[in-house]
Amino acid sequence: MHIYKLIGRDIDITDAMRSYAEDKLSKLDRFSDQIVDARVVMSFDDRIGGAPAKVEVQLNVPNGIIRAEERAGDSYAAIDLVVDKLERQLKRFKGRLLAKRDEAKPQPAAPEDGPREPAIVRTKRHVLRPMSSDDAAIQMEALGHAFYVFRDVDTDLVSVIYIRHDGDYGIIEPANG
């Protein structure tokens, strides 16, 4: 993998740090051959108790991005943690690609058991980060979802972006915002 950009915020990136990050991130290639490049931002803020080193990584893949960030006591530990998180995300990404390929294959007819009542089978918690609708669309596509909940940076409203049947996007905003 090629690191497209390595940025240091309030920290000088040493050759050793660069080499360590490139070595660790290059191991992600074994999980996906879809990685185009990576953008890494390292920062250090000793005003934060416990974990002053932060590493953010954005992997560019066809039709989206995979992003993760982690904090630790030093940059090397933060790199290790963020690579572990990216590894899990890449495995899910690869699984979605394989599932889409399998969906294109003809499926055998399912047995008729009659209609069943829908049930809530899962609850997810989601951190609402302020972002533009364009960024929300990118996140939605990167996750492979049909919709994405976000806080609109311009209106500060909780909004939902979704893929319409015609392939365009729609946004749902509260009327009583």
pLDDT tens digit string along 44-54? 988 867 789 99
pLDDT tens digit string along 100-128? 777 766 655 555 666 777 888 888 888 88
- Mean pLDDT of all residues in 123-148: 86
pTM of the model: 0.56
**Domains in the chain, start-ordered, CATH in brackets?**
3-96 (3.30.160.100), 130-172 (3.30.505.50)
pLDDT tens digit string along 59-80? 888 777 889 999 999 999 999 9
Q: Which of 25-34, 81-90, 156-165 has the lowest mean pLDDT?
A: 25-34
DSSP letter string, 1-50: --EEEEEEESS---HHHHHHHHHHHHGGGGT-S---EEEEEEEE-TTSSS
